[in-house]
Structure 1
Amino acid sequence: MDNLRDRVVVVTGGTRGVGAGIARAFADAGAQVVSCARRPPEVPLDGVEFAPLDVRDAAAVGDFFAARPRVDVLVNNAGGAPYRPLADAAPERHARVIELNLTAPLITSLAAYQHLRRTRGSIVMIGSVSGGRPSPGTAAYGAAKAGLESLARSMAVEWAPQVRVNTLVVGMVRTESSALHYGDTDGVAAVARTVPLGRLAEPADVGAAAVFLASGAAAYISGASLLVHGGGERPVFLDAANVHVGRRET
């Protein structure tokens, strides 16, 4: 989108998977993109500058933004969690998940606020469908993502009209780590069949949605949650029911 040309966009966790897809989408839109992560990408991203940063380190985050001359868009993408049933891990491990997925986006947003206020910029939070439904095995992650949506809505009110804040509620995405979550090729295909649109999202799908929310096309959208989940999840009871539900022709 032309109105993002030469804008400065910071994407946390933007070196692989969904984050890399977001960074590429903004670069393709003509933005100057800075991707922050603890480790550099295995394959450099064209048109994307890499900056090492641990978003859980408040002092390092403050120094990073203080050193930048301008920021127009912040995408809080860094996050994730391993499969970990609640009773099978120490509380400290669950607390770290919440720190990465909720506290870190707050820290980063606060550090970027003065930049965004001056440029009348935008924040895009990368949320998850896990924040709106039970998330067994990743309960702390789901709780953090629920909190992230709430944080974004409050932030959108407090920082209006200078800064718009929105959330992308992302469903299942096909990335280089898909096998860890869904198994082999057959497992990924089986999971994809549970999505109404018949496939998992690609990182580019999430990137396109992030570009939209940061662009002038979304100038009157703030405090919103945009669902990027292919239609959601097919209700389990439809497959469990022993009655046939036909379609009435009119």
Structure 2
Amino acid sequence: MILDRFKLTGQVAVVTGAGRGIGAATAVALAEAGADVLIASRTESQLEEVATRVADAGRRAHVVAADLSAPDAAAALASTAVSEFGRLDLVVNNVGGTYPRPLLESSVEFMEEAFRFNVATAHALTVAAAPALLETGGSVVNISSVMGRVAGRGFAAYGTAKAALAHYTRLAAADLAPRVRVNAISVGSVATSALEIVVGNPELKEKMESATPLRRIGEAADIAATVVFLASRAGGYITGKILEVDGGLQTPNLELGLPDLG
């Protein structure tokens, strides 16, 4: 049966930024596909809610409340997963994000922070998980962004970091082939807490939807389903690729209204 290729029965995943939004949806989707999950983020109460949903799907969750902006904290998740579950098959580097900021207000420190949070943490966890993933023939899925390939004012730090994560995906895939696959998802506008200001404003929401070829804002489940595909045998002949799950965007679908300089 073709649907059997999407199953993750008996596998173990680490999902960062799993307390809400895309990370939470991904953890639950992986559990529904048959995987046990280590879920990590800052807020333990949110993680406990996600763990309950994982249990409802019939799988185990292990909660780690940690500040994953520190690469060492991210790296530690790999050994914790192996200790807790006995193996590791999948890493989902979802934690990340950087607030928009005008170019001339983006300090070197701000750029470095964006790179650390969006790229260095993913690298730290991937390297730490590599021995276990090589043993199981597992995979890594990085969560990048459409802003890593399209240009919009105010996103110099975030877009540069996500573009770096996308190319890091290609490079890590080459290094870890053939045993470990590494892919990324270039995420468009998704209805999470980061987009609340838009989703809660009918005028802004309509403007964003009308500028999106598929005429809707994405759902966290759209990304979670793509993670399941990439992690499973259904995506077993894919590595070093960035899947664009963005409603068809070729340009930003919401401008920040930053003025010309001069």
Q: TM-score range by the shorter chain?
A: 0.7 to 0.9
Could you tell me which residue of structure 2 aligns to residue 44 of structure 1?
Answer: 49
TM-score, structure 2 length as denominator? 0.83
Larger deviation: 26-35 or 53-62?
53-62
Q: CA deviation at 1:179?
A: 2.8
Could you tell me which residue of structure 2 aligns to residue 29 of structure 1?
Answer: 33
Structure 2 gaps of 5+ residues are: 55-60, 254-262
Higher helix share: 2
Deviant stretches of 4+, over 6 Å = none
Q: CA deviation at 1:176?
A: 2.9
Matches within 5 A, 1:1-250: 2=4, 3-42=7-46, 44-45=49-50, 46-47=53-54, 48-69=61-82, 70-180=87-197, 184-233=201-250
- Structure 2 distance, partners of 1:222, 1:199, is 29
Q: How has the CA–CA distance of structure 1 residues 90 and 181 changed in structure 2, closer, same or farther, with 3 Å as cutoff?
A: farther
Q: How has the CA–CA distance of structure 1 residues 148 and 37 changed in structure 2, closer, same or farther, with 3 Å as cutoff?
A: same
- Structure 2 distance, partners of 1:181, 1:79, is 20
Provide the identity percentage: 37
Q: How has the CA–CA distance of structure 1 residues 122 and 41 changed in structure 2, closer, same or farther, with 3 Å as cutoff?
A: farther
Contact 1:178 1:188 in 2 (8 A): no
Contact 1:194 1:233 in 2 (8 A): no
Contact 2:43 2:65 in 1 (8 A): yes
Contact 1:128 1:142 in 2 (8 A): yes
Q: How has the CA–CA distance of structure 1 residues 161 and 235 changed in structure 2, closer, same or farther, with 3 Å as cutoff?
A: closer
Larger deviation: 186-195 or 210-219?
186-195
Contact 1:164 1:221 in 2 (8 A): yes
